[in-house]
Amino acid sequence: MTAFVKSLVETRSHRPARSGCPVNGHENGQVNGQVNGQVNGQVNGQANGQANGRVVAPAQRSASPDTEPVCVPVDVADAQAFLEQFYAETAPFEPFEARLREVRAEIAETGSYEHTPQELTFGARVAWRNSARCIGRLYWQGLRVRDRRQLSAPQDVAEECAEHLRLTTRGGQIRSTITVFAPDRPGRPGPRIHNEQLIRYAGYRRSGGIVHGDPRNVDFTDRVTALGWQPPTPPGRFDLLPLMISGPATRAELFEIPRDAVLEVTLRHPEYAQFADLQLRWHAVPAISNMPLVIGGVRYSAAPFNGWYLNTEIGARNLADADRYDLLPVIAELLGLDTSSVRTLWRDRALVELTRAVQYSFDAAGVRMADHHTESERFLSHVANEQKAGRSCPADWSWIVPPLSGGLTPVFHRYYDKPDPAVRPAFLSPGAPVV
- Three-class DSSP labels, the chain: CCCCCCCECCCCCCCCCCCCCCCCCCCCCCCCCCCCCCCCCCECCCCCCCCCCCEEECCCCCCCCCCCCCCCCCCHHHHHHHHHHHHHHCCCCCCHHHHHHHHHHHHHHHCCCCCCHHHHHHHHHHHHHCCCCCCCHHHHHHCEEEECCCCCCHHHHHHHHHHHHHHHHHHHCCCCEEEECCCCECCECCCEECCCECCCECEEECHHHCEEECHHHHHHHHHHHHCCCCCCCCCCCCCECCEEEECCCCCEEEECCCHHHCCEEECCCCCCHHHHHHCCEEECCCEECCCCEEECCEEECCCCEECCEEHHHHHHHHCCCCCCCCCHHHHHHHHCCCCCCHHHCHHHHHHHHHHHHHHHHHHHHCCCEECHHHHHHHHHHHHHHHHHCCCCCECCHHHHCCCCCHHHCHHHHCCCECCCCCCCCEECCCCCCCC
> Can residue 228 be called a binding residue for ligand ARG (CB under 6 A)?
no
Options 119, 196, 313, 353, the catalytic residue? 313
Distances (CA, A) of 187 to 176, 303, 399, 434: 32, 19, 36, 12
84 is catalytic: no
Q: Whole-number minimum distance, CB 2 to ligand ARG, in Å?
A: 30
Give the nearer residue to ligand ARG in terms of CB position, either 121 or 168.
Answer: 168
313 is catalytic: yes
The residue within the footprint of ligand ARG, chosen from 152, 289, 311, 318 (CB under 6 A), is 318
> Can residue 309 be called a binding residue for ligand ARG (CB under 6 A)?
yes
Question: Which window, 21-29, 106-114, 207-215, 224-232, contacts ligand ARG (CB under 6 A)?
Answer: 21-29
Give the nearer residue to ligand ARG in terms of CB position, either 143 or 310.
Answer: 310
Closest CA to 218 of 38, 20, 4: 38
160 is catalytic: no
Q: How far apart are CA 202 and CA 212, in angstroms?
A: 8
Options 129, 137, 185, 223, the catalytic residue? 137
Options 140, 282, 308, 399, the catalytic residue? 308
> Can residue 402 be called a binding residue for ligand ARG (CB under 6 A)?
no
> Can residue 369 be called a binding residue for ligand ARG (CB under 6 A)?
no
Q: How far apart are CA 250 and CA 215, in angstroms?
A: 27
Q: Whole-number minimum distance, CB 249 to ligand ARG, in Å?
A: 30
Options 21, 71, 134, 393, the catalytic residue? 134
Question: Which window, 64-72, 305-313, 378-386, 387-395, contacts ligand ARG (CB under 6 A)?
Answer: 305-313
> Can residue 23 be called a binding residue for ligand ARG (CB under 6 A)?
yes
Asked if 351 contacts 404 with a C-beta cutoff of 8 angstroms, the reply is: yes
Give the nearer residue to ligand ARG in terms of CB position, either 82 or 282.
Answer: 282
The residue within the footprint of ligand ARG, chosen from 10, 26, 47, 151 (CB under 6 A), is 26
Q: Whole-number minimum distance, CB 39 to ligand ARG, in Å?
A: 23
> Can residue 321 be called a binding residue for ligand ARG (CB under 6 A)?
no
The residue within the footprint of ligand ARG, chosen from 203, 307, 430, 431 (CB under 6 A), is 307
282 is catalytic: no
Residue nearest to ligand ARG (CB): 25
> Can residue 310 be called a binding residue for ligand ARG (CB under 6 A)?
yes
Give the nearer residue to ligand ARG in terms of CB position, either 21 or 132.
Answer: 21
88 C-beta neighbours (distance < 10 Å), count: 9
> Can residue 21 be called a binding residue for ligand ARG (CB under 6 A)?
yes
Show contacts with ligand ARG in window 244-303 (CB under 6 A).
Answer: 286, 288
Show contacts with ligand ARG in window 40-69 (CB under 6 A).
Answer: none
> Can residue 313 be called a binding residue for ligand ARG (CB under 6 A)?
yes
Give the nearer residue to ligand ARG in terms of CB position, either 197 or 361.
Answer: 197
Q: Whole-number minimum distance, CB 123 to ligand ARG, in Å?
A: 19
The residue within the footprint of ligand ARG, chosen from 7, 8, 10, 20 (CB under 6 A), is 20
Name, in order, each residue with C-beta under 8 angstroms of 85's C-beta and a sequence gap of 6 or more: 126
Size of the site for ligand ARG (CB under 6 A): 15
Give the nearer residue to ligand ARG in terms of CB position, either 6 or 368.
Answer: 368
Contact residues for ligand ARG (CB under 6 A)? Answer: 20-26, 197, 286, 288, 307, 309-310, 313, 318
Active site residues: 134, 137, 308, 313
